[in-house]
């Protein structure tokens, strides 16, 4: 297998722009907009890996 989709098509700038979108989506799904709440925990609660974790998983899978 080749490189993951995000490695081929996403620049570091693109990645930096996508991470906050995912965090806002988690807040939307949970309905929790408090600044004291952790968006990382919300991602975990809804069963969604961070984009960084998904990239790392994709890289590991392609190396197998």
> What pTM value is reported for the model?
0.68
pLDDT at 4: 45
Give the C-alpha separation, 11 to 44, whole Å: 25
pLDDT at 7: 52
pLDDT at 2: 45
Question: Cβ–Cβ contacts within 10 Å for residue 42, how many?
Answer: 19
pLDDT at 1: 40
pLDDT at 51: 79
pLDDT at 9: 65
Q: Across the 64 residues of the chain, what is the mean pLDDT of every consecutive 10-residue run?
A: 52 86 94 94 89 83 81
């Amino acid at each position: 297998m080749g490189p993951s989709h995000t490695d081929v098509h996403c620049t570091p700038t693109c990645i930096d722009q996508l991470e906050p979108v995912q965090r806002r989506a988690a807040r939307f799904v949970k309905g929790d907009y408090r600044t004291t709440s952790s968006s990382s925990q919300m991602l975990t609660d809804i069963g969604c890996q961070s984009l960084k974790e998904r990239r790392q998983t994709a890289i590991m899978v392609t190396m197998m």
